[in-house]
Structure 1
């Protein structure tokens, strides 16, 4: 273990000050479920750590408001997953949390930190001698000619094909979540859709947060559509495995079962949480049937570019979307 500085600020304002004082080598410690792991592997080598896990300003959440759901960045995933209002009014969000990692990890992982978890690409985590543009820009991407079974088929580039691993961000994306941030230049709000970057030529830059900026809370608009929602996750094993493909979907049905509103977001298939707007549009005004659900899945995966070993993800992704839509349709009709 390499030596590093440590700060445990008493307030959110002090945390921002500590991040600014620490400089670009400073990392934030919230739940620690990603940072500890990557420090042990030598992937993350912070010069200082700012511990915010105890800040009461970040810990609360409120699902009882009529206009929006509010989640403090420090709220624990386990607590959110068990919230009865969330499970009733937006089951896709609750299911994305309940299916994320193990119960022990959910007890520690936080709502804000989960959005920023890093890829599970084995080459990224293994270190030398494997080249990885995320870890060492310009060194190459071992996955492009290596074992890419777990990797992305959407949003890839010549520099990186690593899949975004999270579930919570995928579900939030389907419901137009917004993030309240705080940094050295003060507060600002961004849509969640603007947080994650595709790799392009700079895969080492994974998000759009400014230096020293923290996620303070997540806000999700309350909609009638959210009650008819579902999160479907396909993985190699049912317990504690990352998604090969996942879909967070919601539908609102009108007369004769036609789709009046539709939300579709994908996980496990792309380099960032992926909103499938074309698939949503394809379903509007249509009756939700097995065929229309499969067509929506095909639209969602239309731009897929599989590698050597992950071509199966295209068909799997189509079926995952279709299965999630049918589950959401049953809830919307009840």
Structure 2
């Protein structure tokens, strides 16, 4: 009995015979394609990872225009490049020669190793105090010591905040063509810019302040508390101490660390009896917790002149001098001045 099912079944078999190899072929192609693409993807992925790693290493070595120096010796190619350019720049200054046109200096970065200081950098690079200090905005050369990261340009000169001066003033003061006073990126604060006056120097007085040689010890005694964070004896918590304390017997003479003008002489909250002396270039010295004040506001004093005596007035735990050095509103560490307070 023919129910019409046989022809349909035969058709299905024929269809399967034709389509199955095709399906297997397509599936094989798909599998091969996937394997191939996966290999390509893996290759692509590895390439991307390597690119990221290389970029990261490069970024660490050279962030923007800043190039990392690992060691101040000839095994470091970046150091060699810096030294070559600095020697050329120094020689021009010694010969009183100048380039017709200057370009922005290349900036290098270096972290000082044990037993290194600013004199190490000067000896190894031919840079000078003026260049290093103005680019890194240090107030005393003692601030550059082991563990500190400094920025080093490959051309000697002076760096200035854009808000502190202008090209006209710099051109006139340092006898530099206005077009050679360059505006560069600030390596410390990338959102700011700096003026660069190439191959010029600070005055003798400005350099003397940087060296700290203009200041003298206000008191012979023992440094009982240092600058920086410490446990406040009154609240028993960590608090910033903006000067140094020099312990000495009550009534001992306190002397002006440098000549200047007395701008304050009187009582001042925690400082007790306080004297503030204004010096050149925005520097001030403060003398707190005095027993007696022996100068008056407006008086001009000489270096070493007695201005008061050791006491314990104000917020004090015993007889001592609280001594501060400031530049404008910034409190500086007197211990950064070599030998100033190293006495007994």
Q: Compute the TM-score of the two structures, normalised by the length of structure 1.
A: 0.22
TM-score by length of 2: 0.21
User: Which has the larger strand fraction?
Assistant: 2
Of structures 1 and 2, the one scoring higher in RCO (CA 8 A, sep 6+) is 1
